[in-house]
Amino acid sequence: RPSRPQNQSGPSRGQNPLSSRSLSTRRELYEKDFPVYKQPVEVGCFSLDSERRFFNDGRQMRYYVEPDRSPNFDLRDGYKDRFIKRDDSVKEKLDHMLRWILANRSKLSSKGTASSCDLDVDFVTWRGHLTKLLTAPYETREGWLLAVTRFRGTLYISEVETEVARRDRENRTGRHKEMMYWGYKFEQYTCADSVHGRPDPGGVLNTNEAFCTVVQTRLADHRLLFSGEVDCRDKDPNAPAPACYIELKTSAEICTPKQRSNFHRFKLLKWWAQSFLPGVPRVVAGFRDDEGVVVAVETFPISKISHLIKNEHNCWKPTVCMNFCSDFLSFVKHIATEDNPSVVYLLSWEPRRDVTFSVHRDSPYCFLPHWYVEGMTS
Ligand code: A3P
Ligand code: MG
Ligand code: MG
């Protein structure tokens, strides 16, 4: 473990991602100008049905229906008798995205133009993995493991569950399990299946179902292709994706200045990072009491969140998040040099440590399936 004073200035281990075996997550190192982040463009979408089957279309898209002024949604309703939960012990890795890529390859590769990589992107990953990178400089509790494979010039990033995360998942309390349902229940109260439809809070809630957007963008000199689950869109037929999308969230109602401050410092960071990445412009939040009743609904435009938090002392900064992510991706490009679908570079991070890595050949960490490797090679 590197030992150095916290306030050391000047060059330190990990400061230059291109000259080191490790990468620092210290905030001070990333307080630079905001890096180039191109407006994300939706290049496609896909859906997962009630049995988690993949469809190369938007059949699971839902439409936002604005709730009443005092909604009184009971988020506990249906937990016992109208809930089908996705099996989160099944690790899907990048499979759904890879299926989408194979089905839409012609949209991505520029055949005929000179390029060192087939897909014309540097990174393929899930939005959720990038969210973890953006928030790492401020994360004090949960570390992560990211597996990286270079294949035909593109770097694929897929998360590996940590031992701690697995233990937490297997030991969730009844109360925690029920509270995880509340977020999905809020979606059911506020979303309809069709443009002119109404929400159906009496129906069965199945968390296998998902609609995912696939976006392309660039962070500094990193061309990114990633997918993220989208909760719903507004009904205006003219609004183009991803500007029409809405992220739904629930949060404990705010009663004290301390609670407000914590909401700004911790929750808004997560909300901002998750939606800023794919260019989703707003979050609709349902504030609920301890009994799971939504007492207020409020819209947070993503572009206003950085102003909202400016009064918090020592608060998170979007530029730190984006600069760390950019440097992390440079670090990955630098270390993951062997182009081979059966080689995995495992990047591991724990709060208050540097990011380190190890290399694994033909190991259980391999995550690019044969059908993908063959599909891309033929
Ligand atoms: P909330 O967002 O209201 O907490 P998302 O908002 O990302 O679309 O996720 C929908 C819901 O899934 C969440 O609602 C929460 O209930 C549940 N959920 C998602 N990620 C979770 C996690 N890491 N731990 C616990 N619950 C999670
Ligand atoms: Mg969601
Ligand atoms: Mg949501």
Q: What pLDDT digit, counting tens, does each position of 156-202 carry?
A: 999 999 999 999 999 999 999 999 999 999 999 999 999 999 999 99
What pLDDT, in 10s, does the model give residues 127-157? 999 999 999 999 999 999 999 999 999 999 9
Q: What is the pTM of this model?
A: 0.95
**Residue indicated by tokens 């440079």:** 330
- Listed residues: CB within 5 A of ion ligand 2: 229, 231
Q: What is the pLDDT of residues 21-56, one digit of tens each?
A: 999 999 999 999 999 999 999 999 999 999 999 999
Nearest atom of ligand 1 to the alpha carbon of 251: 3
Q: How far is the CA of 189 from the centre of ligand 2 (A)?
A: 14
The better pLDDT of the pair 290, 109 is held by 290
Could you tell me if the CB of 180 is within 6 A of ligand 1?
yes
Determine the atom of ligand 1 nearest the C-alpha atom of 286: 3
Nearest CA to ligand 1 atom 23: 180
| pLDDT at 237 (0 to 100) | 87
> What mean pLDDT do residues 92-101 have?
98
Residue 8 pLDDT greater than 70, yes or no: no
Name residues whose C-beta falls within 8 Å of residue 111's C-beta, 6 or more positions apart in sequence.
Answer: none
Neighbours of ion ligand 3 (CB under 5 A): 231, 248
Q: What is the pLDDT of residues 243-254, one digit of tens each?
A: 999 999 999 999
Rounded to 10 degrees, the C-alpha dihedral 282/298/263/313 comes to 80
Q: For residue 181, give the ligand 1 atom closest to its CA.
A: 16
96 close to ligand 1 (CB < 6 Angstrom): no
Interface predicted TM-score (ipTM) of this complex, two decimals:
0.95
Query: In sequence order, what DSSP letters do the residues of 207-272 get, joined into one string?
Result: TT-EEEEEEEEEETTEEEEEEEE--EE-S-TTPPTTTTEEEEEEEEPP-SHHHHHHIIIIIHHHHH
Predicted confidence at residue 15, as pLDDT, reads 67
The residue nearest atom 2 of ligand 1, judged by CA position, is: 249
